[in-house]
Chains A and B, each alone.
Chain A
Amino acid sequence: MTPVLELRAVTKVYGSGAVAVHALTGVDLSVDAGEMVAVMGPSGSGKSTLLTIAGSLEQPTTGDVLVEGTPLAGMSPADRARLRRRHVGFVFQDFNLLPGLTATENLALPLELDGVRARAAAAAARRALADLGLADRAGAYPDELSGGQRQRIAIGRALVGERRLLLADEPSGALDTQAGESVMRLLRNACKRGAAAVLATHDAQLAAWADRVLFVRDGVAVDQSRPPAGPESLLAPGTEPPR
Chain B
Amino acid sequence: MGRESMEYDVVIIGGGPSGLATAIRLKQLDSELNVCLLEKASEIGAHILSGNVFETRALDELLPNWKELNSPIKTKVSKEKFLFLGKTKSLSWPTWLLPAVQQNHNNYIISLANLCRWLAEQAEALGVEIFPGFPASEILYNDDGSVKGVATQDMGIDKEGNQKDSFEPGIELLGKVTVFAEGCRGHLGKQLIEKFNLSDGKDPQQYGIGFKEIWEVEEKNHEEGMVMHTAGWPLDNNTYGGSFMYHAENKQVFLGYVIGLDYKNPHLSPFDEFQRFKTHPAIRKIISGGKRISYGARALIEGGIQSLPKMYMPGALLVGCDAGTLNMPKIKGSHTAMKSGMIAAETIIKYIKENKDLSNYEEKFKNSWVYKELHAARNVKPSFSWGLILGIIFTGIDQILFKGKLPFTLKHKHADHETLKPANEMPKIEYPKYDNVITFDKTSSVYLTGTNHEDNQPVHLKLKDPNLPISYTLEKFDEPAQRYCPAGVYEVQKENNVNKFVINSQNCIHCKTCDIKEPSQNITWVTPEGSGGPKYGNM
Q: Is B a genuine binding partner of A?
A: no
- Measured CB to CB, the residues of A under 8 A from B are none
By a beta-carbon cutoff of 8 Å, the part of chain B in contact with chain A is none
